[in-house]
Amino acid sequence: MQRPVHSSFKSVLAENEIVRVAGANHALGGLLAQEAGFQAVWSSSLEVSASRGLPDASLLSMTEYLQAAADLQKELTIPVVADCDTGYGGNLNAAHMVHEFEAAGITALCIEDKLFPKMNSFVGAGQALLDTSAFARKIQIAKEAQSSSDTYLIARTEALISGLEVDAALERCRAYADAGADAVLVHSKAKTHDQISAFLDGWDFRVPVVIVPTTYPDWNIEDIRKAGVSVVIYANHGLRATVRALRDTYQAILVDGDTTGLEHSIASVQDIFTLQKLDSWRKLDA
Ligand code: SPV
Ligand code: MG
Protein backbone atom coordinates (compact mmCIF):
# COMPACT_ATOMS: atom_id res chain seq x y z
CA MET A 1 0.00 0.00 0.00
CA GLN A 2 1.51 3.27 -1.15
CA ARG A 3 0.87 6.87 -0.30
CA PRO A 4 -1.48 8.63 -2.74
CA VAL A 5 0.25 10.24 -5.71
CA HIS A 6 -0.98 13.77 -6.21
CA SER A 7 -1.35 15.85 -9.34
CA SER A 8 0.26 19.25 -9.70
CA PHE A 9 -1.86 22.35 -9.42
CA LYS A 10 -0.63 23.43 -12.85
CA SER A 11 -1.98 20.26 -14.47
CA VAL A 12 -5.33 20.64 -12.69
CA LEU A 13 -5.58 24.20 -13.96
CA ALA A 14 -4.69 23.11 -17.49
CA GLU A 15 -7.46 20.52 -17.45
CA ASN A 16 -10.23 22.70 -16.03
CA GLU A 17 -11.68 26.01 -17.14
CA ILE A 18 -12.34 26.84 -13.50
CA VAL A 19 -10.85 25.21 -10.42
CA ARG A 20 -12.73 25.12 -7.13
CA VAL A 21 -10.58 24.96 -4.01
CA ALA A 22 -11.73 24.26 -0.44
CA GLY A 23 -9.98 25.47 2.70
CA ALA A 24 -8.80 22.83 5.16
CA ASN A 25 -6.32 22.50 7.98
CA HIS A 26 -5.79 18.75 8.34
CA ALA A 27 -5.76 15.68 6.14
CA LEU A 28 -9.22 14.53 7.18
CA GLY A 29 -10.73 17.85 6.09
CA GLY A 30 -8.75 17.64 2.86
CA LEU A 31 -10.02 14.11 2.23
CA LEU A 32 -13.61 15.26 2.69
CA ALA A 33 -13.08 18.17 0.27
CA GLN A 34 -11.55 15.75 -2.22
CA GLU A 35 -14.43 13.29 -1.75
CA ALA A 36 -16.91 16.12 -2.39
CA GLY A 37 -15.21 16.83 -5.73
CA PHE A 38 -13.04 19.88 -5.07
CA GLN A 39 -10.08 19.97 -7.42
CA ALA A 40 -7.58 21.38 -4.89
CA VAL A 41 -7.30 22.22 -1.19
CA TRP A 42 -6.29 25.56 0.31
CA SER A 43 -4.02 25.18 3.31
CA SER A 44 -5.52 28.29 4.86
CA SER A 45 -3.52 30.40 7.30
CA LEU A 46 -6.78 31.30 9.03
CA GLU A 47 -7.75 27.64 9.44
CA VAL A 48 -4.30 26.41 10.45
CA SER A 49 -3.97 29.18 13.06
CA ALA A 50 -7.52 28.66 14.34
CA SER A 51 -6.90 24.92 14.66
CA ARG A 52 -4.19 25.86 17.18
CA GLY A 53 -6.55 28.29 18.95
CA LEU A 54 -4.50 31.24 17.66
CA PRO A 55 -5.25 34.31 15.56
CA ASP A 56 -4.16 34.47 11.90
CA ALA A 57 -1.42 37.00 12.68
CA SER A 58 1.90 35.44 11.56
CA LEU A 59 2.27 33.79 14.97
CA LEU A 60 3.11 30.33 13.67
CA SER A 61 6.44 29.78 11.99
CA MET A 62 6.97 28.85 8.36
CA THR A 63 7.82 25.34 9.51
CA GLU A 64 4.48 24.97 11.25
CA TYR A 65 2.53 26.14 8.19
CA LEU A 66 4.66 23.87 6.01
CA GLN A 67 3.92 20.92 8.28
CA ALA A 68 0.19 21.61 8.01
CA ALA A 69 0.34 21.86 4.20
CA ALA A 70 2.53 18.77 3.92
CA ASP A 71 0.27 16.74 6.24
CA LEU A 72 -2.65 17.65 3.99
CA GLN A 73 -0.82 16.86 0.77
CA LYS A 74 0.49 13.49 1.94
CA GLU A 75 -2.99 11.96 2.08
CA LEU A 76 -4.50 13.56 -1.05
CA THR A 77 -4.48 12.98 -4.80
CA ILE A 78 -5.57 16.57 -5.47
CA PRO A 79 -2.99 19.33 -5.04
CA VAL A 80 -2.64 21.62 -2.05
CA VAL A 81 -2.45 25.36 -2.62
CA ALA A 82 -0.40 26.65 0.31
CA ASP A 83 -1.43 29.99 1.78
CA CYS A 84 2.04 31.33 2.61
CA ASP A 85 1.02 34.74 3.95
CA THR A 86 3.77 37.27 3.21
CA GLY A 87 6.35 34.60 2.40
CA TYR A 88 7.26 34.58 6.12
CA GLY A 89 9.41 37.70 6.09
CA GLY A 90 11.65 39.29 3.49
CA ASN A 91 12.89 38.24 0.09
CA LEU A 92 15.30 35.61 1.38
CA ASN A 93 12.56 34.12 3.54
CA ALA A 94 10.41 33.83 0.40
CA ALA A 95 13.21 32.01 -1.43
CA HIS A 96 13.68 29.64 1.52
CA MET A 97 9.92 29.09 1.60
CA VAL A 98 9.95 28.00 -2.06
CA HIS A 99 12.79 25.55 -1.41
CA GLU A 100 11.07 24.04 1.60
CA PHE A 101 7.54 23.78 0.17
CA GLU A 102 8.88 22.33 -3.08
CA ALA A 103 10.85 19.73 -1.13
CA ALA A 104 7.57 18.72 0.58
CA GLY A 105 5.86 18.24 -2.80
CA ILE A 106 3.62 21.29 -2.62
CA THR A 107 2.98 22.54 -6.17
CA ALA A 108 1.13 25.81 -5.58
CA LEU A 109 2.10 28.64 -3.26
CA CYS A 110 0.40 31.95 -2.63
CA ILE A 111 2.08 35.01 -1.13
CA GLU A 112 0.46 38.36 -0.42
CA ASP A 113 1.65 41.98 -0.54
CA LYS A 114 1.12 42.84 3.14
CA LEU A 115 3.87 43.56 5.63
CA PHE A 116 5.21 40.88 7.96
CA PRO A 117 3.76 40.26 10.52
CA LYS A 118 0.42 40.24 8.77
CA MET A 119 -3.11 40.22 10.16
CA ASN A 120 -6.08 38.34 8.68
CA SER A 121 -7.73 40.29 5.87
CA PHE A 122 -11.06 40.65 7.67
CA VAL A 123 -9.56 42.29 10.76
CA GLY A 124 -9.77 46.07 11.05
CA ALA A 125 -9.26 48.50 8.20
CA GLY A 126 -6.43 50.00 6.18
CA GLN A 127 -3.90 47.19 6.47
CA ALA A 128 -0.41 48.30 5.46
CA LEU A 129 1.02 47.05 2.17
CA LEU A 130 4.51 46.52 0.89
CA ASP A 131 5.44 48.84 -2.00
CA THR A 132 4.48 47.47 -5.38
CA SER A 133 8.09 47.26 -6.59
CA ALA A 134 9.26 45.60 -3.36
CA PHE A 135 6.61 42.89 -3.64
CA ALA A 136 7.33 42.46 -7.36
CA ARG A 137 10.95 41.86 -6.38
CA LYS A 138 9.85 39.29 -3.79
CA ILE A 139 7.88 37.49 -6.51
CA GLN A 140 10.86 37.58 -8.84
CA ILE A 141 13.17 36.14 -6.18
CA ALA A 142 10.65 33.45 -5.25
CA LYS A 143 10.35 32.44 -8.91
CA GLU A 144 14.11 32.35 -9.30
CA ALA A 145 14.30 30.07 -6.24
CA GLN A 146 12.04 27.40 -7.70
CA SER A 147 13.63 24.28 -9.12
CA SER A 148 10.55 22.44 -10.39
CA SER A 149 8.70 23.64 -13.49
CA ASP A 150 5.55 22.38 -11.73
CA THR A 151 5.71 25.04 -9.02
CA TYR A 152 2.92 27.58 -9.42
CA LEU A 153 3.24 30.90 -7.62
CA ILE A 154 0.14 33.00 -6.97
CA ALA A 155 0.69 36.69 -6.15
CA ARG A 156 -2.07 38.02 -3.95
CA THR A 157 -2.86 41.68 -3.67
CA GLU A 158 -4.49 43.07 -0.56
CA ALA A 159 -4.97 46.46 -2.23
CA LEU A 160 -8.78 46.35 -1.96
CA ILE A 161 -8.56 44.97 1.59
CA SER A 162 -6.37 47.93 2.56
CA GLY A 163 -8.91 50.41 1.15
CA LEU A 164 -7.24 51.23 -2.17
CA GLU A 165 -9.20 51.50 -5.42
CA VAL A 166 -9.56 48.92 -8.16
CA ASP A 167 -7.02 50.77 -10.32
CA ALA A 168 -4.38 50.30 -7.63
CA ALA A 169 -5.17 46.57 -7.46
CA LEU A 170 -4.84 46.36 -11.25
CA GLU A 171 -1.55 48.22 -11.26
CA ARG A 172 -0.14 45.95 -8.55
CA CYS A 173 -1.29 42.77 -10.27
CA ARG A 174 0.21 43.87 -13.60
CA ALA A 175 3.54 44.43 -11.85
CA TYR A 176 3.36 41.05 -10.09
CA ALA A 177 2.52 39.21 -13.31
CA ASP A 178 5.37 40.97 -15.09
CA ALA A 179 7.69 39.92 -12.23
CA GLY A 180 6.86 36.28 -13.00
CA ALA A 181 3.77 35.42 -10.92
CA ASP A 182 1.86 32.54 -12.49
CA ALA A 183 -1.51 33.95 -11.36
CA VAL A 184 -2.86 36.86 -9.36
CA LEU A 185 -5.27 36.65 -6.45
CA VAL A 186 -7.35 39.75 -5.89
CA HIS A 187 -8.93 39.71 -2.45
CA SER A 188 -11.92 41.83 -1.44
CA LYS A 189 -14.03 42.12 1.68
CA ALA A 190 -16.86 43.97 -0.07
CA LYS A 191 -20.38 42.67 0.43
CA THR A 192 -20.91 42.31 -3.33
CA HIS A 193 -18.72 41.16 -6.22
CA ASP A 194 -18.79 44.61 -7.86
CA GLN A 195 -15.17 45.42 -6.96
CA ILE A 196 -13.97 42.11 -8.34
CA SER A 197 -16.08 42.54 -11.47
CA ALA A 198 -14.55 46.00 -12.00
CA PHE A 199 -11.10 44.45 -11.55
CA LEU A 200 -11.89 41.77 -14.14
CA ASP A 201 -13.17 44.43 -16.58
CA GLY A 202 -9.79 46.13 -16.38
CA TRP A 203 -7.62 42.98 -16.38
CA ASP A 204 -5.91 41.88 -19.59
CA PHE A 205 -5.63 38.26 -18.40
CA ARG A 206 -1.89 38.13 -18.93
CA VAL A 207 -2.10 35.54 -16.13
CA PRO A 208 -5.17 33.84 -14.58
CA VAL A 209 -7.19 35.39 -11.74
CA VAL A 210 -7.94 33.76 -8.37
CA ILE A 211 -10.70 34.98 -6.03
CA VAL A 212 -11.87 34.25 -2.48
CA PRO A 213 -15.63 34.93 -2.35
CA THR A 214 -16.11 34.91 1.43
CA THR A 215 -17.96 38.22 1.86
CA TYR A 216 -19.83 38.04 -1.45
CA PRO A 217 -21.22 34.51 -1.07
CA ASP A 218 -24.04 34.91 -3.58
CA TRP A 219 -21.74 35.05 -6.62
CA ASN A 220 -22.56 31.72 -8.24
CA ILE A 221 -19.88 29.58 -9.83
CA GLU A 222 -21.46 29.86 -13.31
CA ASP A 223 -21.38 33.64 -13.18
CA ILE A 224 -17.84 33.59 -11.75
CA ARG A 225 -16.76 31.38 -14.65
CA LYS A 226 -18.40 33.67 -17.22
CA ALA A 227 -16.58 36.63 -15.65
CA GLY A 228 -13.26 34.95 -16.52
CA VAL A 229 -12.05 33.82 -13.09
CA SER A 230 -9.89 30.65 -13.17
CA VAL A 231 -9.65 29.67 -9.51
CA VAL A 232 -12.17 30.11 -6.69
CA ILE A 233 -11.10 29.50 -3.10
CA TYR A 234 -13.80 28.72 -0.52
CA ALA A 235 -11.28 29.53 2.17
CA ASN A 236 -12.91 28.93 5.54
CA HIS A 237 -16.30 27.25 5.12
CA GLY A 238 -15.03 23.89 6.39
CA LEU A 239 -13.67 25.51 9.53
CA ARG A 240 -16.87 27.44 10.15
CA ALA A 241 -19.00 24.33 9.60
CA THR A 242 -16.77 22.38 11.99
CA VAL A 243 -17.08 24.99 14.73
CA ARG A 244 -20.86 24.98 14.48
CA ALA A 245 -21.05 21.17 14.40
CA LEU A 246 -18.70 20.65 17.35
CA ARG A 247 -20.36 23.32 19.44
CA ASP A 248 -23.85 21.91 18.83
CA THR A 249 -22.70 18.34 19.44
CA TYR A 250 -20.86 18.99 22.70
CA GLN A 251 -23.73 21.07 24.03
CA ALA A 252 -26.32 18.44 23.10
CA ILE A 253 -24.42 15.70 24.97
CA LEU A 254 -24.43 17.71 28.18
CA VAL A 255 -27.96 19.03 27.85
CA ASP A 256 -29.59 15.72 26.81
CA GLY A 257 -27.64 13.50 29.19
CA ASP A 258 -27.26 10.82 26.52
CA THR A 259 -26.32 10.76 22.83
CA THR A 260 -29.34 9.01 21.30
CA GLY A 261 -30.61 12.19 19.69
CA LEU A 262 -27.25 12.84 18.08
CA GLU A 263 -26.76 9.52 16.39
CA HIS A 264 -28.66 10.44 13.23
CA SER A 265 -26.71 13.66 12.72
CA ILE A 266 -23.12 12.56 13.32
CA ALA A 267 -20.88 10.31 11.22
CA SER A 268 -20.68 6.65 12.15
CA VAL A 269 -17.50 5.12 13.49
CA GLN A 270 -17.52 2.96 10.34
CA ASP A 271 -17.42 6.15 8.27
CA ILE A 272 -14.31 7.23 10.17
CA PHE A 273 -12.69 3.82 9.55
CA THR A 274 -13.35 4.23 5.82
CA LEU A 275 -11.75 7.68 5.79
CA GLN A 276 -8.75 6.18 7.61
CA LYS A 277 -8.47 3.49 4.88
CA LEU A 278 -8.49 0.98 7.68
CA ASP A 279 -9.22 -2.03 5.45
CA SER A 280 -6.16 -1.35 3.30
CA TRP A 281 -4.01 -0.93 6.39
CA ARG A 282 -5.26 -4.19 7.89
CA LYS A 283 -4.59 -6.06 4.63
CA LEU A 284 -0.97 -4.89 4.80
CA ASP A 285 -0.12 -7.45 7.45
CA ALA A 286 -3.05 -9.87 7.26
C1 SPV B 1 -7.05 32.30 4.59
O2 SPV B 1 -7.93 31.45 4.44
O3 SPV B 1 -6.21 32.25 5.48
C4 SPV B 1 -6.98 33.46 3.69
C5 SPV B 1 -8.22 34.01 3.17
O6 SPV B 1 -5.90 33.97 3.49
S7 SPV B 1 -8.74 35.22 4.28
O8 SPV B 1 -8.99 34.62 5.56
O9 SPV B 1 -9.92 35.79 3.69
O10 SPV B 1 -7.68 36.23 4.39
MG1 MG C 1 -4.49 33.44 4.92
Q: Which atom of ligand 1 is nearest to the CA of 49?
A: 3
pLDDT the model gives residue 72: 98
pTM over cut 0.95: yes
In percent, the amount of the chain with pLDDT more than 70 equals 100
Residue 125: the pLDDT is 81
Specify the ligand 1 atom closest to the Cα of 235: 2
What pLDDT is stored for residue 146 in this prediction?
Answer: 98
Q: What is the pLDDT of residue 126?
A: 80
| pLDDT tens digit sequence for 167-179 | 999 999 999 999 9
Positions of CATH 3.20.20.60 in the chain: 9-235
Sign of CA dihedral 168, 170, 171, 172: positive
**Domain over 9-235 is classified CATH 3.20.20.60:** yes
Residue to probe by mutation, ligand 1, list 52, 65, 121, most atoms within 8 Å of CB: 121
**Peptide bond before residue 117 is cis, with ω within 30 degrees of 0:** yes
Torsion sign (Cα): 218, 196, 226, 32? negative
Whether ligand 1 lies within 6 angstroms of the CB of 85 is answered as no
Q: Mean pLDDT throughout 24-38? A: 98
Segment 50-77 mean pLDDT: 98
Active site residues: 56
Contact at 8 Å (CB) between 160 and 195?
Answer: yes
Q: Is the CB of 160 under 6 A from ligand 1?
A: no
- pLDDT, mean of residues 211-227: 98
Residues 6 or more apart in contact with residue 122 via CB below 8 angstroms: 189, 214, 215
Q: What is the pLDDT of residue 203?
A: 98
Q: What is the mean pLDDT of residues 50-63?
A: 98
- The protein residue whose alpha carbon is closest to atom 2 in ligand 1 is 44
Q: Please give the pLDDT value at position 127.
A: 86
Does the pLDDT at position 242 exceed 90? yes
What's the CA-to-centroid distance between 44 and ligand 2, angstroms? 5
Of all ligands present, the nearest one to the C-alpha of 211 is 1
Instruction: Report how far ligand 1's centroid is from the alpha carbon of 18 (Å).
Output: 20
Q: What are the pLDDT digits (tens) for 120-158? A: 999 988 889 999 999 999 999 999 999 999 999 999 999
- Which pLDDT value is given to residue 1? 87
How far is 113 from 127, CA to CA, in rounded Å?
10
- Please tell me the predicted confidence (pLDDT) of residue 283: 97
